[in-house]
Amino acid sequence: MTQIKYAFLALFFIGANAFSQEETKPERKPGHTNQNKFKQLYDQFATPNMFRTASGAPGPEYYQQQADYKMNIELDDENARLYGEETITYTNNSKDVLTYLWVQLDQNMRARDSKTPLIESSGMPSLTTPERYASSYLTEGFDGGFRIEKVTLPDGKPLIYMINRTMMRVELPKPMANGDQFSFYIKWWYNINDHVNDGGRSGYEYFPKDDNRNYVIAQFYPRIAVYNDVEGWQNSQFWGRDEFALPFGNFEVNITVPADHILDATGRLMNRDEVFSKTMLERFEKAKKSYDEPVLIVTQKEAEANEKTKSKDKKTWKLYAENVRDFGFATSRKYIWDMMAVNVGGKDIMAVSLYSKEGNPLWEQWSTKAVASTLKTYSRMTFEYPYHKAISVHADRQGMEYPMICWNYGRPDENGKYDDRTKFGMISVIIHEVGHNYFPMIVNSDERQWTWMDEGLNTFLQYVAEQDFGEWYPKALSPGQDAYPSRRGPAKNITFYMGGDQDFIAPIMTKGLNTYQFGNNAYGKPATALNILRETVMGRDLFDYAFKEYSNRWMFKHPTPEDFFRTMEDASAFDLDWFWRGWFYTTDWVDIGIADVKKYYVTSKPTESGKRIAERFGRNAGDMIYFVEEDSDDFNESMKSKTPSEASKPLKDYIQENFSAEERKNIKEPKYFYNVTFNKPGGLVMPIIVEYTYADGSSKRETYPAQIWRLNDKEVSRAVASDKEIVKITVDPDEETADIDTTNNSWPRENKKSEFDRFKSGN
């Protein structure tokens, strides 16, 4: 009985559409290739192999190279110059024979003969500042770039090398086979840039009031480039935008600075007893047991006294880092230093902040707590943080990341006052930069080629971490705020970009250097795409499982975009090629609307078109149930007052014969029938999220999967049967699909502006 009943209902609710279409002879058109939005991405993806499997996991022949460094670094504070020497030991784990090595010289971007300034179009400005005029026309500019003094074997025998702008090729005395190691020595120095006035991801900020500098130092040493199965040597030039592709290795680094400086860096401090005072050591031990509030290792009073000194003595800080891809450090006599412990997976990690008095009171309130909160969220979403510390350094106009350490902006005014924009801007950039420890410092993607793989994935997780921060630290929220005001992540925040001028938009799958609107392309759009994938398409459980699988598969390895795409599908049983193609390989936008809504009533009186269809299918016209559109000639007002079984004798007879008395008593018969037509002016395929509102004020939501568009990319219909009258239909009621035009999202049509229109008009 149940099977008969459901078969009947299927015909009753949706089968009517099949009998309502007249046969027409199709127009003959030319043939075409497969343009279906749901076709597989075989034409985009590389063929799986022994290095990278079709599941998205590393293959049995996967390899990666290793570069170990032993360095001695000295800071000349008086002249803002850095001197260094390093011995690099390179291990060839590939089966390829190497005849040379490529070394990155990123500081050469700032050399006087650098071509970087020449790749940008420029015009004569209508005005400029005296400082910029002087730097542009009155001086030769900053004298940057590496001065390479020696490239030798460890015994001092010179090696042949060639420098091509930001890359140096070192010729090997003999080819390196699989398993071979090669050590060589480089000695260099360079002038440190003023990153506040001259730009750059590292450098110094000068404080004229106390005649001190705050140094945040990175890209300070010649670094081995990546060699892998995808690119061979990743020796693309550094033009200043695309970041870095680096192999993992172990770092033993000795850094000599003025004796009154405070320093922290990538790696474990190996001579704490030598560089810490007795008081600092006692405070450090206390910080290791404090989980709620940071403990000051160096107080503001001590830092202010310290910045008045100019010691001529030197102090060497010795650090060792294992299995990291890079190294950075920060040093100044101005630093306040605080720490607290955060428990991650049963292991204590030190959350650390370094900041000058100019950052207070904001930094002492929130920096270290933002570090701790970030480690908790990211570890939940990916893997447990593997290092022993994470450091946030205060640096004006900076937001940059390195293993275990990052520098971040956010500064009150001279009176210590700040607004919400400054506060949340600082917390957000700390979350973002600390989060980079996971992507790309551990899940080590190729930033030089695929900016979105670190910035986009990280910005997505930043959004999750921001919402956690607002929940865990409600005191950070301002009155009237019930959640953290995230700038990127919510779908509606990207609509103005996706609906913009197509001449100035590039697909996400574009090298960062060549993209328009870099922030939206590399950060905002991929973060929004992943948020939509998690919340709307897959659901949190499936998404989180797959995302964690990707993170763990490629922890301390070098993934490609395909490894990410394939793993997300492999671990979830979700075919997402349509999603990757639309969001990552095109500049299509989302626009789904309601094209038409028709109301129908049931009758047993044959209509002219119904009789022809019944005859074609060999059915007796008197035995059929007919759906009559309210606006058609076959409609009369009496139909409105009758239930379908009252209006149709065949239906009444069928129910009587096929349902028991008990079933007839409990049957809930739909009285209202609608044909809802959805259209898709935008190119992006997305699920159709619909809210049906009824005359009694109640509502119901239905999500039609994206696959509803698989056979018609422009328009689809749904027959809806309801026991209550529908008075309103809304598509994407919570604006979770990045629909750029919401004016067509409702029936009856509402006179309102979309988020995109409001943005364009400035309202």
Do the domain assignments include residue 261? Answer: yes
Report the C-alpha gap between 96 and 227 in whole angstroms: 10
Helix (H, G, I), strand (E, B) or coil at 188: strand
CB of 589 closer than 8 Å to CB of 740:
yes
CATH number of residue 151's parent domain: 2.60.40.1730
Mean pLDDT over the full length of the chain: 93
Report the C-alpha gap between 308 and 311 in whole angstroms: 10
Integer CA distances (angstroms), 471 to 361, 474, 571, in order: 22, 6, 30
All residues at 6 or more sequence positions from 281 whose CB lies less than 8 Å from its CB, including other chains: 272, 273
758 falls in which pLDDT band (50, 70, 90)? low
Matching residue, tokens 């793993």? 567
Among the candidates 408, 428, 450, a domain finishes at 450
761 falls in which pLDDT band (50, 70, 90)? low
3 falls in which pLDDT band (50, 70, 90)? very low
Number of domains in the chain: 2
Do the domain assignments include residue 460? Answer: no
- Whether residue 8 is predicted with pLDDT greater than 50 in this model: the reply is no
- Choice among 17-26, 262-271, 736-745 with the minimum mean pLDDT: 17-26
Report the C-alpha gap between 629 and 620 in whole angstroms: 22
Among the candidates 432, 450, 468, a domain finishes at 450
All residues at 6 or more sequence positions from 238 whose CB lies less than 8 Å from its CB, including other chains: 104, 106, 108, 109, 166, 244, 448
Do the domain assignments include residue 314? Answer: yes
Domain membership of residue 156 as a residue range? 66-121+128-450
Task: Kindly state the tokens that stand for 260.
Answer: 């009154």
Closest CA to 82 of 240, 224, 213: 213
Among the candidates 450, 472, 491, a domain finishes at 450
Mean pLDDT value of segment 31-36: 90
Are residues 12 and 138 both part of a single domain? no
Q: Look up residue 192 and give its DSSP letter.
A: P
pLDDT in tens, 601-616: 999 888 888 888 888 8
User: What is the distance, to the nearest Å, from the Cα of residue 304 to the centroid of all Cα atoms in its chain?
Assistant: 39
pLDDT in tens, 565-594: 999 999 999 999 999 999 999 999 999 999
Is the pTM value of this prediction over 0.75?
yes
Are residues 9 and 137 both part of a single domain? no
- Whether residue 298 is predicted with pLDDT greater than 90 in this model: the reply is yes
Report the C-alpha gap between 440 and 447 in whole angstroms: 8
Report the C-alpha gap between 165 and 159 in whole angstroms: 19
Are residues 668 and 726 both part of a single domain? yes
Whole-number percent of the chain with pLDDT over 70: 95
Task: Kindly state the tokens that stand for 372.
Answer: 């701790």
Integer CA distances (angstroms), 676 to 414, 622, 652, 733, 738, in order: 60, 28, 27, 16, 22
pLDDT at residue 701, rounded to an integer:
97
Task: Kindly state the tokens that stand for 491.
Answer: 């779908």
Helix (H) or strand (E) holding 598: strand 593-603
CB of 727 closer than 8 Å to CB of 693:
yes
Q: Look up residue 706 and give its DSSP letter.
A: G
- Choice among 129-143, 283-297, 364-378 with the minimum mean pLDDT: 129-143
Do the domain assignments include residue 707? Answer: yes
pLDDT at residue 99, rounded to an integer:
98
Report the C-alpha gap between 368 and 365 in whole angstroms: 8
DSSP 236-285: ----SSS-----BEEEEEEEEEETT-EEEESSEES-HHHHS-HHHHHHHH
Do the domain assignments include residue 539? Answer: no
Are residues 418 and 330 both part of a single domain? yes
Are residues 297 and 357 both part of a single domain? yes
pLDDT at residue 608, rounded to an integer:
87
24 falls in which pLDDT band (50, 70, 90)? low
Matching residue, tokens 């509803």? 708
Do the domain assignments include residue 182? Answer: yes
pLDDT in tens, 481-503: 999 999 999 999 999 999 999 99
Name the β-bridge partners of 242: none
Are residues 145 and 9 both part of a single domain? no
Do the domain assignments include residue 599? Answer: yes
pLDDT at residue 6, rounded to an integer:
37
Integer CA distances (angstroms), 271 to 277, 315, 504, 700, 745, in order: 12, 11, 53, 65, 64
Mean pLDDT value of segment 127-144: 84
Task: Kindly state the tokens that stand for 662.
Answer: 């008990």
Closest CA to 450 of 515, 376, 400: 515
| 108 phi and psi angles, rounded to 5 deg | -65, -15
User: What is the distance, to the nearest Å, from the Cα of residue 454 to the centroid of all Cα atoms in its chain?
Assistant: 7
Integer CA distances (angstroms), 638 to 611, 625, 641, in order: 22, 17, 6
- Whether residue 15 is predicted with pLDDT greater than 70 in this model: the reply is no
Closest CA to 46 of 176, 213, 231: 231
CB of 716 closer than 8 Å to CB of 709:
yes
